[in-house]
Structure 1
Amino acid sequence: MADTHPSSPAFWPSIQHEARRIAESDPVFGPALSAAILDHSDLGSAVAQQIGVRLGSGDGARARFASVAREAYAATPELVEAAGRDLGAIAARDPAVTALLPPLLNYKGYIALQAHRVAHWLWTNERFDLALLLQAESSASLQVSIHPSARIGTSVFLDHATGIVIGAFAAIGDDVTILQNVTIGRLDALPGRAPRIGRGVLLSSGTTVLGDVEVGDFAKVGAGAVVTSDVPAGCTAIGTPARLTNCPEQPIPAGA
């Protein structure tokens, strides 16, 4: 499947245009938009500011978290690219979205995901304590707890984003949609036994995925299902314990 989400540079002029239009028409909201969008030169700077605002509990903490995010973006521009693709995924999949600015400013799942990407960068650079602090602040402020060691692809959408827990060493592919109250975690302490979620998967509200299991590309897991064994590509898993339904007659080729 070709990637249809534009890159972050393509989004930024549109976001600034939206912000200027609203700032000119709304004198109350206008100053906030200047600090959030119009004072920034690119998407990475704006997202870093939002991470600081949403995770920090005071001016000092907000500045520190924003500074850490900017450091990560300067060192790894791919993180900004991922932020753009995640924003594009929301625009593509959420029927309530008609513009790019509202999810950037108001969707806590989007900011929680970007905070995780920064925490994962810290983790891979052996700055473990600061990475875990970002996780803790995201859990407390945004109700999304993603362990810094978890690996998450791009164009990912955390929809509603309340009560989401993604444990250590979990792996999540591109184009995945995760609804509220989803848990993805291990059954033991071994790193290689965390769940692996394939590309294009939908994890509906209340889903639990536990153990050394793989959810294949473009599979769907129904609301409230408990998955403790593999779900083949393209299948739907429902119930507790989960059972398979609607599997394709022909296997879905890898990378379809």
Structure 2
Amino acid sequence: MTRSNRVLKLVAGAEPEAGPADPLWGRLRGEAIAALQADPALDALMFHSILGHASFESAVADRLSVRLATDTLPYHLLQDVFLRAFAAEPSIGEAIRADLQAVVERDPAAGRLIEPFIFFKGFAAIQTHRIAHWLWSNRRRDLALFMQSRSSEVYQTDIHPAVPIGRGIFLDHASGLVIGETAVIEDDVSILQNVTLGGTGTGAGDRHPKIRRGVMIGAGARILGPVEIGAYSRIAAGSVVTQPVPAHSTAVGIPARIIPHAVTLRPAQSMDQTLAGTDYDGFTYAI
């Protein structure tokens, strides 16, 4: 019996946890089994990442701990932190499931759950932040800052652990993302690479953007100061925003100007990054 067949036999005896109580976990396991059957060279990756675990949360803890571990904070210590967070705050696991589904729904490059779960650093960066935020909220701030620092090193994202982030979040590529301490991100937001949610000076207090539900932020955009980006609005690629953006609007340019009443009703879900046919100051803009 080959190693991959032994893995599949072992998995076959552990099917109850992939049942109807957690359909996403069942689907993820099914994709891992199909991947292993298609390419036996993946047996160790699929077993250690997914098939050797009794729950979705256990698999997430393992995957993140493997990528974040250092000599001073090794795998087993980080895994324990993740598992404790999941046990103390079940809503974290629910948010991670929503994030995973969001990637598959919005990214044409992700036809399966297994792709963001194992390979996409944007998905991993958000889940690392969720644990960092839990640590920060529970007064374990140095460990939270370690998570932030490691995420910056490993995933090229720098999100302050104080930032509350909703569920159904999609970070496309994620490289170069910077989010400051007093920012807020609500549910169902999509953010592309090289985005900054920053401040405008050295003052303390509320100084970073508030991103409301369903917003899409294009690549390279800069949103600066404690401005509100209204629900289901769009920020065009490369734009610099320093003023509030009303709901269902598009901000475009440097400095950004507002196109009200955007045609796209749910931009974060549709990922519509063009303004085809929209004449604004004599130009047709692309996000």
TM exceeding 0.5: yes
Report the secondary structure of 2:178's partner residue. strand
Once the two structures are superposed, residues 124-178 of structure 1 have per-residue CA deviations (whole angstroms, 9 ceiling, x without a partner) of 0010000000000000111011100001100000001100011102100100000
TM-score (norm. length: structure 2): 0.81
Q: TM-score, normalised by structure 1?
A: 0.91
Write the distance in 2 (CA, Å) between the matches of 1:229 and 1:190: 19
SS across alignment from 1:19: helix
Q: Structure 2: how far apart are the matches of 1:205 and 1:35?
A: 34
Do the aligned residues in 1 keep the contact of 2:176 with 2:193 (CA within 8 Å)? yes
Structure 2 residue runs of 5 or longer lacking an equivalent are: 1-19, 267-287
The counterpart of 2:194, out of the listed 157, 167, 181, is 181
5 Å-filtered alignment, 1:163-182, equals 163-182=176-195
Structure 2 contact 223–241 (Cα < 8 Å) conserved: yes
Aligned-pair CA distance for 1:57: 3.4
In the alignment, what sits opposite 2:253? 239
Residue type at the aligned position of 1:193: R
Letter in 1 for 2:153: A
- For 1:18, which of 6, 31, 47 is the aligned residue? 31
- Whether the 8 Å contact between 1:205 and 1:224 is mirrored in structure 2 is yes
TM alignment of 1:26-105, pairs within 5 A: 26-58=39-71, 61-105=74-118
* 1:193 maps to which of 204, 207, 220: 207
Q: Aligned runs of 1:126-165 on 2, under 5 Å? A: 126-165=139-178
Task: Give the number of the structure with larger relative contact order, counting CA–CA contacts within 8 Å between residues 6 or more apart.
Answer: 1
Q: Deviations over 1:112-133 (max 9, x none)?
A: 1001000000000010000000
One-letter identity of the residue aligned with 1:238: V
Answer with 170-179 or 181-190: which moved more. Answer: 181-190
- Distance in 2 between the 1:193 and 1:66 partners? 34
* Paired letter, 1:213: V
Greater shift, 48-57 or 223-232, is seen at 48-57
Note closer, same or farther for the CA distance 1:69–1:8 as it changes in structure 2 (3 Å cut): farther
Aligned length: 244
23-32 or 216-225, which moves further after superposition? 23-32
Structure 1 contact 8–85 (Cα < 8 Å) conserved: no
1:58 positional shift = 4.8
Alpha-carbon distance in structure 2 between the residues aligned to 1:62 and 1:114: 16
Q: Which moved more, 1:240-249 or 1:67-76?
A: 240-249
Q: Which has the larger radius of gyration?
A: 2
Rounded Cα–Cα distance in structure 2 between residues aligned with 1:86 and 1:9: 15
> Counterparts of 1:50 and 1:99 in 2: how far apart (Å)?
17
The answer to whether the 8 A contact 2:233-2:262 is kept is no
CA–CA distance in structure 2, aligned partners of residues 246 and 216 of structure 1: 11
Amino acid of the structure 2 residue aligned with 1:89:
A
Once the two structures are TM-superposed, the CA of residue 248 in structure 1 deviates from its matched residue by 5.1
Amino acid at match of 1:73: F
Residue 54 of structure 1 deviates from its aligned partner by: 1.6
Kindly state the Cα deviation for residue 195 of structure 1 after the two structures are TM-superposed: 0.8
Whether contact under 8 Å (2:123, 2:170) holds in the other structure is: yes
After superposition, the C-alpha distances for 1:37-84 in whole angstroms (9 at most, x for unaligned) are: 011111111111111112123596222222211110011010000000
User: Which residue identity does 2:83 align to in structure 1?
Assistant: R
After TM superposition, which residue ranges in structure 1, 4 or more long, deviate above 3 angstroms?
57-60
- Name the % identity: 43
